[in-house]
């Protein structure tokens, strides 16, 4: 798995490949999706075990991943919410509200991150 750097790649869920932004620096994780009207594909925050949607403009799907990239929780969050920390979470994937189900992201599924 290795360490990722800020940049781009793909989130692989079974046969589905989704464009992925990777945010590993404090600055990139803090900015996240703030100030955007949409997200193209998904955003990986690493390391992360909780998120918030304060000052966000749209609802998002949030998948919490453990250290082996297995999904331990998936939620849709409206703007202005604070997500509770997940004890086993090491990474968080964010995407537009309602899209993860179609990608097959659900509890127990293992995803893959392919960095460019």
Q: In order along the chain (116 residues), what is the average pLDDT of each group of 10 residues?
A: 86 98 96 92 97 94 98 97 94 97 98 95
pLDDT given for residue 116 in this prediction:
87
Residues in the chain: 116
**Angle formed at CA 16 by CA 10 and CA 18, multiple of 5 degrees:** 30
The H or E element that residue 28 is part of is: helix 26-31
Q: Which sign does the torsion angle of CA 14, 25, 67, 95 carry?
A: negative
Cα(116)–Cα(19) distance, rounded to whole angstroms? 11
pLDDT given for residue 2 in this prediction:
55
- Tokens found for residue 106: 């659900």
pLDDT given for residue 8 in this prediction:
97
Look at strands 42-45 and 60-65 and give their pairing.
Answer: unpaired
pLDDT given for residue 3 in this prediction:
82
């Amino acid at each position: 798995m290795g360490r990722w750097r800020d940049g781009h790649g793909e989130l692989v869920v079974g046969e589905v490949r989704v464009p992925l932004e990777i945010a590993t620096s404090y600055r990139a994780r803090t900015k996240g999706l703030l100030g955007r009207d949409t997200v193209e594909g998904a955003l990986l925050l690493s390391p992360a075990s909780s998120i918030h949607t304060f000052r966000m403009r749209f609802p998002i799907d949030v998948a919490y991943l453990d250290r082996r990239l297995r999904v331990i929780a998936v939620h849709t969050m409206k703007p202005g919410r604070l997500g509770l920390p997940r004890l086993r979470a090491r990474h968080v994937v964010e995407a537009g509200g309602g899209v993860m189900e179609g990608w097959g992201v659900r509890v127990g599924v293992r995803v893959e991150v392919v960095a460019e």
